[in-house]
């Protein structure tokens, strides 16, 4: 089991109200709701980096294909 560490943060009162409302609605503690929010944020960052990487690879693959096209035409002729 993961070691739990107590932290103190300062947030806007309206955000705390929203956190408390979500916690009640989902039957979770504030801490668990914050853990879920952090997990979601981290997952989104991973997904964004993957998306950027796939887009870069797509562009690189297109460039490689365009560069190889003349040589492929010669072979086929």
Torsion of CA 21, 26, 28, 29, to 10 degrees: -10
Q: pLDDT value at position 12?
A: 97
The position carrying tokens 């739990």 is 4
pLDDT cut 90: percent of the chain above it? 62
Mean of all residue pLDDT scores within the chain: 90
* Dihedral sign from CA coordinates of 21, 25, 26, 29: positive
Q: pTM for the whole thing?
A: 0.67
Domain boundaries, the chain: 14-76
pLDDT band at 56 (very low <50, low <70, confident <90, very high): confident
């Amino acid at each position: 089991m993961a070691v739990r560490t107590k932290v103190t943060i300062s947030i806007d009162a309206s955000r705390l109200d929203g956190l408390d409302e979500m916690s009640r609605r989902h039957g979770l503690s504030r801490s668990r709701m914050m853990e879920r929010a952090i997990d979601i944020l981290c997952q989104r960052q991973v997904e964004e980096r993957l998306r950027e990487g796939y887009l870069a690879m797509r562009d690189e693959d297109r460039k490689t294909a365009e560069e190889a096209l003349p040589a492929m035409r010669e072979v086929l002729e």
